[in-house]
Amino acid sequence: MDVTNDPEAGSVAVAVRAHEAERFEPVVENGGGTSRFVLLCDHASNACPPGLGDLGLAQADWQAHIAWDPGALAVARRLSRLLDAPLVHAAVSRLVLDCNRAPDARDLVPAFSGGIRIAGNEGLPPEERARRIAAVHEPYHDGIERVLAARLAAGSETALVAVHSFTPVLGGVARPWHVGILFGRDRRLADRCLATLRAEPGLVVGENEPYSPRDGVYYTLGRHGEARGLPSVMIEIRNDLIAEEEGQASWAERIARALDGEGAGHA
């Protein structure tokens, strides 16, 4: 799969069309992992298919949080090794299409994000929206379905963990949490994580903060986890804490302990 966010690809002033035949499959790592956990990273990538140019954005925008969740994939990969857990992650930026949104969500293909205009997404024709759903959204969720179907057919105990990151400041307001634990109707994993993390002195832990399922951010876990009755939880880590390898390693170990007790090793 050839994807890029090369600013030299050229700016766009109108909506651009994805190649009809393209399907951007998710990346599956450690697919044979023996853990009961399956890890998901919806916003792992800041890549943009070459056919879309740069969507009218500067290179700096593609490195910012509007394009992806910085640090989340690095933590998820370490967590995959610590727990021996399969990891499924998206290969395309959420600026192209947000895989963690329902197909009919208004912000599935954002025209503005973080106060920044995304020219290549403005006035998107319905047929182009449908093409992006077919090229990005459907393959991602089909990939998760395949992983889960194989595990459930084999009788493997399964729980879902989505790894995300969030900005320290939003709209000029500082966010005090170091980590947030998000959950819907099923609290089984969330309660364990909250109890373990809150026992750590000095750690500020959000409960359905800085987001909650009411904000529309729980689509992937709702579709694949709650709909099947599988324990599910979303982990949101403040991205300044996982900008470097040391923080990524320490947070992966912290989350592994919260999920799986003392069984975690080192990655």
Q: Where are the domains of the chain?
A: 7-261
Q: What is the pLDDT of residue 182?
A: 98
**Cα of 242 vs its chain's centroid, Å:** 15
Q: Nearest 10 degrees: CA dihedral of 138, 140, 146, 147?
A: -160
Nearest Cα to 111, choosing from 99, 125, 130? 125
Q: Enter the tokens of residue 225.
A: 């986890």
pLDDT along the chain (267 residues), means of 10: 33 34 91 98 96 94 97 99 98 98 97 94 96 98 98 97 97 96 96 98 98 95 98 98 98 97 50
Specify the CATH superfamily of domain 7-261: Zn-dependent exopeptidases (3.40.630.40)
Q: What is the pLDDT of residue 51?
A: 87
Global pTM? 0.90
Q: Enter the tokens of residue 176.
A: 């005090």
**β 112-113/116-117 pair status:** antiparallel
Q: What is the pLDDT of residue 15?
A: 30
Q: What is the pLDDT of residue 109?
A: 98
Q: Diameter of the chain by CA atoms?
A: 53
Q: What is the pLDDT of residue 22?
A: 83
DSSP class of residue 14 equals S
Q: What is the pLDDT of residue 50?
A: 87
Q: What is the pLDDT of residue 108?
A: 98
**Cα of 143 vs its chain's centroid, Å:** 14
